[in-house]
Chain A
Amino acid sequence: MNKKVRRANPVVMTIIYILCIILAIMSVMPFVIMIINSTRSTTEIQQHAISLIPSTYLMKNFAVLTGKSFNPVKGFINSIIVATGATACTVYFSTLTAYALVVYKWKLRDGFFTFIMAVMMIPSQVVSIGFYQFMYKIHLTNNFLPLILPAIAAPTVVFFMRQFMLPSLHIDIINSARIDGAKEFYTFNRIVLPIMKPAIATQAIFAFVTSWNRLFEPMILLTKQELYTMPMMVSLLKGDIYKTEFGSIYLGLTLTVLPLFIVYFLLSKYIIAGVALGGVKG
Chain B
Amino acid sequence: MKKKKISYAKYGYIFSLPFVITFCIFTLYPIIFTVILGFTDFKGLGNVTWHFLDNPFQNFEAILTAPTFKTALGNTFMIWGWNFLPQILLALLLAAIFTNVRNKVKGQGFFKVVFYMPNIITAATVAILFGALFGYPMGPMNDLFTTMGWSDAPIHFLQNKWIARGVVSFIQFWMWYGYTMIVLISGILGINPELYEAADIDGATTVQQFFYVTIPNLRTVLIYTLVTSLIGGLTMFDIPNLLVTKSGPNNATLTTSVFIYNQAFSGSYMYNRASAASIIMFVLISILSAIVFMLMQDKSEVAEKKELKRIEKEMKQAAKKGGTL
Contact = CB atoms under 8 A, between A and B. Distances in A.
B303 interface: no
Size bracket of the B interface? 35 or more
Contacts of B16: 96-97, 100-101, 112
B223 A260 contact: no
B133 A33 contact: yes
Interface in B35-69: 35-37, 48
A257 B120 CA distance: 10
B33 A133 contact: yes
A8 B182 CA distance: 23
Contacts of B10: 106
Nearest to A107: B9
Nearest to A97: B19
Interface string A252-282: 0100110010011000100110011111111
Interface residues of A, number: 98
Interface in B256-297: 257, 260-261, 264-265, 271, 274-275, 278-279, 281-282, 285, 289
A123 B231 contact: yes
A50 interface: yes
B150 interface: no
A128 B114 contact: no
Interface in A10-27: 12-13, 16-17, 20, 23-24, 26-27
Contact of A119 (B13, B27, B130, B178): B27
Contacts of B289: 121
Interface in B129-149: 129-133, 135, 138-140, 142-144, 147
Interface in B194-246: 220-221, 223-225, 227-228, 231-232, 234-235, 237-238, 241-242, 245
A271 to B, nearest CB: 7
Interface stretch (B70-78, B158-166, B185-193): B185-193
Most B C-beta atoms less than 10 A away, residue of A137, A235, A281: A235
Interface stretch (B81-89, B105-113, B304-312, B313-321): B105-113
B231 A121 contact: yes
A189 to B, nearest CB: 12
B127 to A, nearest CB: 8
B242 A235 contact: yes
Interface in A208-266: 209, 212-213, 215-216, 219-220, 230-232, 234-235, 237-238, 246, 249-250, 253, 256-257, 260, 263-264
A37 B140 CA distance: 10
B8 to A, nearest CB: 5
Contact of A125 (B103, B174, B260): B260
B183 A216 contact: no
A257 B105 contact: no
Interface string A101-130: 101111111001000000101111111111
Contacts of B285: 123, 126
B18 A129 contact: no
Interface of B: 8-16, 18-20, 22-23, 26-27, 29-37, 48, 94, 97, 102-105, 107, 110-118, 120-126, 128-133, 135, 138-140, 142-144, 147, 174, 178-179, 182-187, 190, 220-221, 223-225, 227-228, 231-232, 234-235, 237-238, 241-242, 245, 257, 260-261, 264-265, 271, 274-275, 278-279, 281-282, 285, 289
20 contacts: A24-B111, A27-B118, A28-B117, A30-B133, A33-B133, A100-B13, A112-B16, A121-B231, A123-B231, A128-B278, A129-B30, A130-B275, A216-B237, A220-B265, A231-B123, A237-B128, A264-B117, A268-B116, A279-B224, A282-B225
